[in-house]
Amino acid sequence: MSHLKPRNSSQKYAVITGASSGIGYALATVFSKRGYKVIGASPQSVLHLQDPLVKEYGVISVPCDITNLDDLKRLKDIVLKETGGYVDILYNNAGIAIGGPAAEMDEAKVNKIFQVNVIGHINVTKQLAPFVINAKGSIIFTSSVAARVPLAWISIYSATKAAIDAYAQTLHGEMAPFGVKVHSVITGGVNTQIGAEETVAEAEKQFGNSLYNVDGAIESGMAAKEMSVRNGVSAELYARDVARKVLKRLNKFNLYAGSSGYTLHFISRYYPLWLVEYIMQWFFKQLRVFRNIRKSRK
């Protein structure tokens, strides 16, 4: 890019999507403390949640819905202006979650989650990859153990995390000649609010007209929803762990963080599927649900 300004070697830059809450907010804090100038991007409706980051760390707060191409082009322009065309960390973190039986998902919700969790990150990468190449930096994606094991009632979320992990794996090889590291973080339990809006009443409504409307279904659905809240590490601890690994410039593609991140990956690779399914169904209280369905079908 011939129009680039000379690099100010004393300042490094990180662009983080979904910086308004949870993992993204914690990452913005950690990288700021590490001396990075952070550009945090979130939709306009929640951008105010980044105000403490702006006040305390000087984070550059940018309204951006990653499913909107016009927003992404504006983000690119702002990043170029602020960084001179050098991005050391591009952290594709924004994400949403939906739950429910795999064969009964609402079509609009399926489209929305793929737009955010997969297509949005692909388009962010397209816009900003040239700046990462200039800096010989790193591109990171927040994937999940849901891409590895059949966690209960979140098949579509699992599919998006498997998809972005596969995209990142090919990107890893394609970026290597430019000196760019690419990582997909297989994330275990992290105590955030993603998916937390679902209540018992909403779960009852969801299963009310379902093929799975049997005794135990609501309890199983809530067990899946509450997994990370009950067993996850804090977003702050997770962010510190991931930042430490990213900044080591490791040659590893997959990084593992969060509660049971590597353990569930290991199980998925070396245990037979029937055993993995049994473990997951036991943990999320699905065994009772499936047993009752079999009885009713007889």
Give the active site residues. 20, 157, 161
What letter does residue 4 receive in the DSSP assignment? P
Helices (H) and strands (E) in the chain, counts: 13, 9
Q: Which residues contact 124 (CB under 8 A, 6 or more apart)?
A: 17, 66, 72, 75, 90, 92
Q: What would you measure as the largest C-alpha separation in the chain, in angstroms?
A: 73
What letter does residue 26 receive in the DSSP assignment? H
Q: Which residues contact 113 (CB under 8 A, 6 or more apart)?
A: 96, 97, 98, 156, 157, 160
CB 173 within 8 A of CB 244: no
Q: Token digits for 54?
A: 């702006």
In degrees and rounded to multiples of 5, residue 91 shows phi and psi of -110, 100
Which residue matches tokens 């951006």? 64
